[in-house]
Amino acid sequence: MILIDPPNVSGHGRMWSHLASDESYDELHTFARLAGIPVRGFDRDHYDVPAEWYDEVVALGALPVTSRELVGRLRAAGLRRRKTVSGRQD
């Protein structure tokens, strides 16, 4: 399932949501292409989505969840990729 959390992260003068899949990266990339989200928005295990796109992404079928639930579902699916430390994935 495609998940999106509320736009609650600031950066570059905007607020951002995270778009993720709890099934596969293929599902995530396919949905992102459908939504017109640029590849450069992909960060390890999610896409960063500007707040002004939130309603449109939900209308396309992303399930709104809390940030905590999004991370929990990524972990449960084995799809969570943490930031690298010394060049390795944790």
10-54 residue pLDDT tens: 999 999 999 999 999 999 999 999 999 999 999 999 999 999 999
Q: How many structural domains comprise the chain?
A: 1
Residue 45 lies in a domain: yes
How many CA atoms lie within 13 Å of 24's alpha carbon, on the beta-carbon side?
Answer: 3
Q: How far separated are the first and last CA of the chain, in Å rounded?
A: 24
Q: pLDDT band for position 90 (50/70/90)?
A: very low
Q: pTM for the whole thing?
A: 0.87
**What pLDDT shows up at residue 67?**
96
56, pLDDT greater than 70: yes
Question: Which CA distances in Å does 74 have to 11, 46, 55, 81?
Answer: 23, 10, 22, 9
Give the integer Cα–Cα distance in Å for 88 and 83. 8
Domain range holding 47? 2-77
Residue 87 lies in a domain: no
How many CA atoms lie within 13 Å of 2's alpha carbon, on the beta-carbon side?
Answer: 20
- The 10s digit of each residue's pLDDT in 75-87 is 999 889 877 665 5
Residue 68 lies in a domain: yes
Residue 85 lies in a domain: no
